[in-house]
Structure 1
């Protein structure tokens, strides 16, 4: 297919009744061209929408985070942290290996012990400070950890708020066992 370009500065009509889990709200419809592109690719009528930050708020579960952090269309938290070593250990137990895209983390680390990321509470990646919130439930297992950005504790300000491949990862606080990890 031809590449699709979506201008994030342009606002189209508002699409109502967009649902993610138990949240329902409005979103910006990214237009007929984007809808047709995805419909053609997927073989079903589809719309591309963008979270309507002007009017909508989708908070993360307050049972796990003291501050009122928000997410958009992600599962339940803005970030999922997983290590390559955890996937490697999981694949040793499976008859048929699975790939990392099955879990869709947006932060993938390597160079640690399998499942050690489940214990991390205060994390710094480059100039960004994160808080480990809770293990990520995947059907019958937990895999990876949901985390939030501690924007008040980060030295990353202004433009350029981007994590890059190879950024150093520092763990400042962790729980002592998986039994202590919030699930």
Structure 2
């Protein structure tokens, strides 16, 4: 296990001017728990990427339905107009539905809002993290099991865990909480059938105890890092901001260790 940790250990403090990683994929999930859409770019809004978790499925009692209860939601594939993610596109009253937003947990980020994501506007995962996990699994899993907003490459596995402040296309993103995983990653997004992996494998090296966070020990597994966007707090600074595939990520501040990162 010590050898495993050495693969993704990261130095602390401020970084050099060289990018820490590069954005390789961007995903949005217009309807919570339904299939995601891979896009080349996504404009920033006050609640995350435009259209991300703007709608959700509810039952006859008005309660939310997610893949935790109805795995076959993974088979529902939303579509958006081809220009809906252009940075200057302005919808009319007849072309979109406005929903109430909600505040993220103030214990982790004050004043930020999200739509129907589980708690935070952005989830970042590195290709290195997925590759390392897949080396430990009998059957490799695609990234869609983990439903990130931003997939990056070029950094060591689990580097994203320690990214406290980053700049992405001159936009400030703050890593505020390790992403604790529910049963959704165990659901095959092509068939809607749940299994036991990757949770069984993650329990071996991605728990609080394994990450030397014994004082916390919430009996959860972690994969990915939740982020908020500083510019989203102000309409004036948010206007025109967009994230694109190929954008470099510069890490300005890092958490000293997993024990210091919130979860």
Pairwise CA RMSD: 2.8
Q: Does 1:92 align with 2:111?
A: no
**Match of residue 83 from structure 1:** 126
Q: Tell me if 1:61 matches 2:105.
A: yes
CA contact (8 A) 1:135 1:181 kept: yes
Q: Specify the SS of the correspondent of 2:118.
A: coil
For the 8 Å contact 1:128–1:156, the answer to whether it is kept is no
Contact residue 127 and residue 156 of structure 1 kept, 8 A: no
Tell me the residue number matched to 1:172.
252
Answering whether residue 125 of structure 2 is matched by residue 125 of structure 1, we say no
Work out whether residues 58 and 72 of structure 1, in 8 Å CA contact, stay in contact via their aligned partners in 2: yes
Displacement after TM superposition at 1:119 (Å): 0.4
- Normalised by the length of structure 1, the TM-score is 0.67
Alignment of 1:143 onto 2:223: yes
Cα separation, partners in 2 of 1:93 and 1:74, compared to 1, 3 Å = same
Work out the CA distance in 1 between the residues paired with 2:135 and 2:237: 38
In structure 2, the residue matched to 1:19 is: 64
- The normalised TM-score by structure 2 is 0.48
Whichever structure has more strand as a proportion of its residues is 1
Q: Which runs of 5+ in 1 are unaligned?
A: 1-7, 9-14, 22-38, 43-48
Structure 2 unaligned spans of 5+: 1-50, 52-57, 67-72, 77-95, 183-219
More deviation, 136-145/168-177: 136-145
Structure possessing the higher relative contact order (Cα contacts under 8 Å, 6 or more residues apart): 2
Aligned residue in 1 for 2:5: none
CA contact (8 A) 1:20 1:73 kept: no
The 1:126–1:179 alpha-carbon spacing in structure 2 relative to 1, beyond 3 Å, is: same
Shift of 1:51: 5.2
- Report Cα offsets for 1:94-147 as digits up to 9, x if no partner: 111111000111111110010010001001101210110100011342000000
Tell me the CA shift for residue 17 of structure 1.
3.7
Distance 1:167 1:104, change over 3 A: same
Q: Size of the alignment, in residue pairs?
A: 140
SS in structure 2 at match of 1:178: coil
Matches within 5 A, 1:154-165: 157-159=238-240, 161-165=241-245
